Chain A
């Protein structure tokens, strides 16, 4: 499968997914760490891809949604943004609502 199709399938089959450096429990970048930390505080399960463990995704993710940096958060298949946007939405309480809606609706 082409790498862009693989990314598309991931963001469409997971209501909340973050592409990050490292894992939520062992992040390898301060920006990824903060974004994952905010997601963990949303009290719903989310998917993650450690881009350091998948060079193909690492190299190609920037052109998937025309977004040059990591981490990247997707909710319901749409790019929400990187670390700064994730934190800004979290601080305003908006991220929690978005995550709850996405996960609860997916669960039916």
Chain B
């Protein structure tokens, strides 16, 4: 299973999202073609209701703990409840361009 498939599957199972987007943004960074190192995830789930942003991100990081300790180098996380997602008109922010910093070994 690719890293992308594995991220999608885990988020789907954990959060039962009403919207889920897993974008491989590795090509925006200084890594070989075909890499699966930089991802952006947008998760819309009622499970985020009443939770702080830090708590939500901890939930996502925890779910992807295995990937984060392996191939996954950067993870942009955007979490919304259904209501917040409607208010944003179903748009999550764009990720920044790479500036060349290295990865922790």
Q: Do A and B bind each other?
A: yes
**Residue positions of A touching B, CB distance < 8 A:** 21-22, 27-34, 52, 58-59, 62, 66-69, 79-85, 87-89
Top 5 nearest A-B pairs by Cβ distance? A30-B96, A28-B101, A21-B101, A29-B101, A85-B53
Let me know if B54 and A80 touch, CB within 8 A.
yes
17 further A-B contacts with Cβ under 8 Å, apart from A31-B76, A68-B69, are: A21-B99, A21-B101, A27-B101, A28-B100, A28-B101, A29-B98, A29-B101, A30-B97, A30-B98, A33-B99, A59-B105, A62-B104, A69-B61, A69-B68, A81-B54, A84-B93, A88-B53
The CA-CA distance from A80 to B53 in the complex, in Å, is: 9
Shortest Cβ distance from B77 into A: residue: A84
Return the CB mask of B75-86 against A: 1 if under 8 Å, else 0: 111100000000
Contact of B96 among A31, A66, A67, A69 (CB under 8 A): A31
Residues of B within 8 A of A87 (CB): 93
What's the nearest-Cβ distance from chain A to residue B23, in Å?
13
Residues of A within 8 A of B76 (CB): 31, 83-84
